[in-house]
Amino acid sequence: MIYIGIDPGKSGSMAIIWHTGDVEVIPFDKTAYINAIARANETDECKCCLEHVSSMPRQGVASTFNFGENFGWCEGILDAFGISYELVRPLKWKREFSATSDKNTSIEVCKRLFPNVSLKRTEKCRKDDDGNAEALLLCEYARRRL
């Protein structure tokens, strides 16, 4: 079984826990997502948690539209590859890990659960990325609950 977690959005990420136990974290990139999902789909059965998001107060119209567009694109790719997925609200999956709305708690929990996985967006980054951490926690949620 292969598990996938997706934190949608331009600063989101996708994480995959392969049937071998290896972990892959991919910052948002349409081509990289398609290639990784295709590899996963041909290897083994996949289950996915996609964060079910909505607009936030005081969020601009253009950013809300872009965010929704990315969310829909992620749903479309999963549907196109026939990968079953569950939409999970942030409150629900964060409760599983005792994480709060503070993005730093997601990073800390992720570091405890996956100490050998880099959460940096690129090799040049100095700071861990909350999008990478949240995608990996969504992936772990899928492994535990689906």
Q: How many domains does the chain divide into?
A: 1
Distance CA 115, CA 1 (A): 22
pLDDT of residue 20: 94
Full residue range of the structural domain in which residue 113 is found: 2-145
pLDDT > 80? residue 87: yes
Whole-structure pTM value = 0.91
Q: 12 near 49, Cβ under 8 Å?
A: no
Kindly report which listed range (7-16, 82-91, 102-111, 114-123) carries the lowest average pLDDT score. Answer: 7-16
Q: What average pLDDT does this structure show over 108-114?
A: 97
pLDDT > 70? residue 57: no
Phi-psi region of 26 (alpha: psi -120 to 50; beta: other; left: phi over 0): beta
The torsion angles phi and psi of 119, rounded to 5 degrees, stand at: -105, 10
CATH number at residue 74: 3.30.420.10
pLDDT of residue 7: 94
Cβ-proximal residues to 90 (8 Å cutoff; 6+ apart), any chain: 51, 52, 53, 101
Cβ-proximal residues to 59 (8 Å cutoff; 6+ apart), any chain: 67
Q: What average pLDDT does this structure show over 56-83?
A: 78
Residue type, 101: S
Nearest to 36 by CA among 52, 56, 13: 13
pLDDT of residue 88: 97
Q: 28 near 70, Cβ under 8 Å?
A: yes
Query: Bridge-partner residues for 49, per DSSP?
Result: 5, 86
Nearest-Å Rg of the Cα atoms of the chain is 14
